[in-house]
Amino acid sequence: MSSGRNCCAVIAAAGASSRMDLGFSKQFVLLLGVPAIARTLLAFEAAREVGSVVVVCREEDRGRMELAVRGCGAGKVAAIVPGGGTRQRSAAAGAAAVPPGTEWIAVHDGARPLIRPEEIDACVSAAREYGAAALAVPVKDTVKLTDGEGFVSSTPPRERLWAVQTPQVFRLARYREAMRSAEAAGADYTDDCQLLERCGVRIHLCRGSYENLKLTTPDDVAAAEAILRRREELS
């Protein structure tokens, strides 16, 4: 099995999309006429370091997801599986469905459709070198910690603060072990790095792009389309 073939991407696309107020899952929102999830899948289709893809979606979205996969020609998709009640359970469902021979797992938010193939490859390569890696960008603003009552308690040094993105890449066996440990402890995380952090795994932050935004509100859709138009102008 080639290095690319032993890495499977798990695309988490089972969120409720409540903050988008669309009436349907945000993964299907059109960005310059193309569904967001299709743009995400095509980036992984072009990534050399990823050999297969598992998509996790809501059960009621399965038919629409199958159409999106076929429509964009995402040949690496090995399975479409229903998600769980939380982000962590959905990721676990994806990890359980990876093809035989998978050694690495790259977990990615389906609502980050502006990811580039070269960023995916860089993150997977970093994980192979360091054992675990995630895309991230330096925080631009000064961040304040509060005391829980609306008052500043401290100001962490900005030069040490990074905003983590996806994909986040781990050894599959270690990821499953961390998942089992978290479930046994009753811990539930929305960030996969936290699963490994609680088990003492050091995670390398791979410099990403500020364009790799997550579609959370309608403003993000407008920003994503502006980025895509700029890319088209430069291509």
Alpha-carbon distance of 136 to 107, in angstroms, equals 14
CATH code at 181? 3.90.550.10
| Full domain range(s) for residue 84 | 4-234
Q: What is the pTM of this model?
A: 0.94
Structural domain total, the chain: 1
Let me know: does 194 contact 203? Beta carbons within 8 Å.
no
Alpha-carbon distance of 105 to 182, in angstroms, equals 18
Nearest to 166 by CA among 43, 29, 18: 43
Q: In the predicted model, what is the mean pLDDT of residues 88-98? A: 96
pLDDT tens by residue, 154-197:
999 999 999 999 999 999 999 999 999 999 999 999 899 999 99
Query: In percent, how much of the chain has pLDDT > 70?
Result: 96
H or E stretch at 186 = none
Q: In the predicted model, what is the mean pLDDT of residues 99-126? A: 97
Q: Which residue has the tokens 């390398």?
A: 204
What tokens appear for 198 in the block?
Answer: 């609680």
Strands (E) in the chain, as ranges, are: 7-13, 30-31, 34-35, 52-57, 77-82, 104-109, 132-138, 145-146, 152-154, 162-171, 204-207
3-state class of 167 per DSSP? strand
18 has which bridge partners?
Answer: none
Nearest to 76 by CA among 126, 125, 120: 120
Alpha-carbon distance of 142 to 211, in angstroms, equals 20
